[in-house]
Amino acid sequence: MKRRTAVLISGRGSNMVALIAAAAAPDYPAEIVLVLSNIEDAAGLETARRAGIEAWAIPHTPFGRDRAAHEAELDAALRAADVELVCLAGYMRVLTPFLVGRWEGRMLNIHPSLLPSFPGLHTHQRALDAGVRLHGCSVHLVSAELDGGPIVAQAAVPVLPDDTEDTLAARVLVQEHRIYPLALAALAGGAVARPDAAAALANPCSAVG
């Protein structure tokens, strides 16, 4: 039985597309059954619908500062769809302890840096500014600490001398699309045993490309 999985997005949803494509394989252990966005006109919603997946927005703006009330709506939608696992994929809202607690051990996030370096925003520019020679992306279980949960998969890319924020982001994105499906498969297949574990036993997910 494939694990029923939802993807939360705020924008174009290219990681969502990678997950949908991977989940189409008969032997993939998860299926994408629902896509939710906090942004009404997120491009990824239409992309998901075109792929035959239920997708709609639950905008955060009507809730003002009441983040937990917005999250309660999200949570209700996830539960109504019998969702078991959640993938944050470019979902640009910081979660409160409410939603984190509800989905502990069952919610993944993709972050465009080699965590624990560069949590938060503008990771590619910060990597360039710091002069690092390796950059990359991480998929981690969501915990109460922003971008701080146990790492499930990572991939590294070189930082080249003439890189701009855009060229570096594009190189990282290729790897995001590769490792997010691997990480979801690991979680859905039971290879990520405990929320507090450092993830899968083997590490098939690292690469320098």
For position 147 contacting ligand GRF by CB under 6 A, the verdict is no
5/15 with CB nearer ligand GRF:
15
Instruction: State the nearest-atom distance from the C-beta of 43 to ligand GRF, in Å.
Output: 8
Distances (CA, A) of 116 to 103, 140, 171, 201: 22, 11, 19, 20
Residues 53-112 within binding reach of ligand GRF (CB under 6 A): 89-90, 110-112
From 196, 203, 10, 204, select the one nearest 105 (Cα to Cα): 196
Selected catalytic residue, list 111, 135, 140, 177:
111
Structure tokens at 58: 């639950």
**Residue number with the shortest CB distance to ligand GRF?**
90
Q: 60 an active-site residue?
A: no
Instruction: State the nearest-atom distance from the C-beta of 1 to ligand GRF, in Å.
Output: 27
From 187, 182, 173, 170, select the one nearest 206 (Cα to Cα): 182
For ligand GRF, the binding residue among 176, 191, 199, 205 (CB under 6 A) is 176
69/126 with CB nearer ligand GRF:
126
Cβ-contact 168, 128 below 8 angstroms: yes
Cβ-contact 74, 99 below 8 angstroms: yes
Alpha-carbon distance of 130 to 31, in angstroms, equals 39
Name the β-bridge partners of 37.
Answer: 9, 57
For position 136 contacting ligand GRF by CB under 6 A, the verdict is no
14/117 with CB nearer ligand GRF:
14
Peptide bond before 158: cis, by omega within 30 degrees of 0?
A: no
Overall size of the chain counted in residues: 209
For position 13 contacting ligand GRF by CB under 6 A, the verdict is yes
8/58 with CB nearer ligand GRF:
8
For position 8 contacting ligand GRF by CB under 6 A, the verdict is no
Q: Which residues are catalytic?
A: 111
Residues that bind ligand GRF (CB under 6 A): 9, 11-15, 89-90, 110-112, 173, 176
